[in-house]
A and B are shown apart, each in its own frame.
Chain A
Amino acid sequence: MTTTRYSFRRILREGLSGHRGWTPAWRSPELKKHYDAVIIGGGGHGLATAYYLTKNHNVRNVAVLERGWIGGGNSGRNTTIVRSNYFFPESARVYDLALRLYEGLAADINFNIMLSQRGLLTLAHDEHQMEMARRSVNAMLINGIDVELLDAAQIKAEVPLLNFAPDARFPIHGGYVQRRGGVARHDAVVWGYARGADALGVDIIQGCEVTGFRMDGERVIGLDTSHGPVDAGVIGMAVAGHSGVLAAKAGFQLPILSYALQAMVSEPIKPVLDTVIMSASTGAYVSQSDKGELVIGAGLDLYPSYAQRGNLPTTQNVLAGLVEMFPSFRRLKLMRQWAGIVDVCWDYSPIIGPAPIDGLFLNCGWGTGGFKAIPAGGYLLAHLLATGQHHAFSAPFDLRRFETGALIDEAAGAGIAH
């Protein structure tokens, strides 16, 4: 099967011939006995890893194993926000690499990811938060990130729908904006990477659960799966909330806790909001999708969970926060509510690097911010798998930082209540 190139001319031709010429975006091959590299987890990070491993490092004979289906996990459950407004230089480098790759991704993978850099506005609700905003903006500017501090009048001019009433429970004192931030179509990102990797020869195996790690002494040489055993030259793991479950199968533990992170969408309405709003105080963040739904994100449900639904108190809290910020939204109905299981590290920064056993490399711990980092997570894990060495950008995120104490504390950069 050759991959169909998507173009305006192609749409025109298919439109005139009843759309009967489209082929599946990727194959469904059988699992082979041996691969040079196997990636566990067919989410955005896993598929991006396979794509960059093949494209940038010319590693052929690569497989991605996905327990469920492509786009069924956190890749299809996030709030689609992209941004790189992080405090520490180590984080800014990684997240801005991701944003720059996102900016060129649609052309790179010939798949419209509907990147909309509509800006991302973080609100400050009192003078102390304004002081912190000034500090963050200074740090981010030093990191080379495009952020601007805004006062209340500027925010009112940009987002007049926000609650500027004199009796507002959370009055708006100002905030800061990253103009290059925004949203991308999450399904398109994961489907696009799947299609791009498949076109380069990567085998994407859906419905394939990893049940065990096959060891030769201290080195992992293959996997047991629900589709039978497979030998692997090297293995990458990008399984988000289930990182701890798989690590236990490989005989080690990770400094990660799994939590449910909720999101929900309203009924579709006409365009009212042309940017992304984040507010740590109200515990809510919101943008409007191209279909007109408000996409609302919450803080974490504050106890460990592997249930992909979230509990009512957090839902109530985020919705109370939303209608406080936007009183005009109070009569909207919710269409759907769900949760994804996120892998949170103690310093709210990811783990990228070798696992405690040879032959296995990790990409996990992105916590509440995995979607925005997909291209960088894939790019950096691919570098590790191909060379066995850290890229300069991933070195600070090695698992050993928990022993050395060189943590990268992005508790504020994570941007939401936790």
Chain B
Amino acid sequence: MLKIDCPWCGPRGENEFTYGGEAGTVRPIPATAIDDAIWARYLYIRRNEKGAHRELWCHSGGCKQWFVMLRDTVTHAIAAIEKIGSP
């Protein structure tokens, strides 16, 4: 069980939260200049890191806010939690 410190609600159990994918996936623009390879990369290619992993989570069973979490995918230790848009 992960204990996740929601930036708005404080520490809660992981079953209140939903994983939302890797952080930092940026949609390529403009659409007219995007070929199939670039689009496939955006849709399907992720870093899938073994170790430190920046990822999006949503407090779906609580305040419904999204935030960024830095988690180790081997130990599951949470190193940092940031509000979206903060440095």
Whether a CB of chain B sits under 8 angstroms from the CB of A88 is: no
Main secondary structure of the interface of A (DSSP, over half): mixed
Cβ distance B74 to chain A, nearest Cβ, rounded Å: 5
Residues of B within 8 A of A402 (CB): 40, 43-44
Question: Once the chains are docked, how many angstroms separate the CA of A341 from the CA of B74?
Answer: 11
Q: How far is the CA of A304 from the CA of B76 in the complex (A)?
A: 10
What's the Cα separation between A362 and B22 when bound, in Å? 24
Bound: A341/B36 CA distance, A: 30
Q: Are B73 and A306 closer than 8 Å at their CB atoms?
A: yes
Write out the residue numbers on chain B whose beta carbons fall within 8 Å of the beta carbon of A303. 19, 55
A181 to B44, CA, bound (A): 32
Decide if B73 touches A311 in the complex (CB within 8 Å): no
Contact, CB under 8 Å: A245 / B45: no
Q: Is the CB of B50 within 8 A of A306?
A: yes
B80 interface residue per 8 A CB criterion: no
- For B43-84 the 0/1 string (1 means CB < 8 A from A) is 111111010010100000000000000000111100000000
Known contacts A306-B74, A403-B40: A244-B48 contact under CB 8 Å? yes
How many residues does chain B have at the interface if contact means C-beta atoms less than 8 Å apart?
A: 23
- Give the contacting residue for A311; candidates B2, B18, B48, B75; CB below 8 A: B2
Contact in complex: B36, A403 (CB < 8 Å): yes
Q: What is the CA–CA distance of A306 and B1 in the complex, to the nearest angstrom?
A: 15
Most chain A Cβ neighbours within 10 Å, of B47, B55, B73: B73
Q: Which residues from A are CB-within-8-Å of B44?
A: 255, 346, 402
Is A312 a contact partner of B1 (Cβ separation < 8 A)? yes
- Asked if B37 is at the interface (CB within 8 A of a chain A CB), the reply is yes
User: Which residue numbers of B lie inside 8 Å of A, CB to CB?
Assistant: 1-2, 13-15, 18-19, 36-37, 40, 43-48, 50, 53, 55, 73-76
Write the residues of chain A forming the contact surface with B, with a CB cutoff of 8 angstroms.
242, 244-245, 253-258, 302-307, 311-313, 346, 402-405
A-B contact list, 13 entries, CB within 8 Å: A253-B45, A255-B40, A255-B46, A258-B73, A303-B19, A303-B55, A304-B19, A306-B74, A307-B74, A311-B1, A312-B1, A346-B43, A403-B37
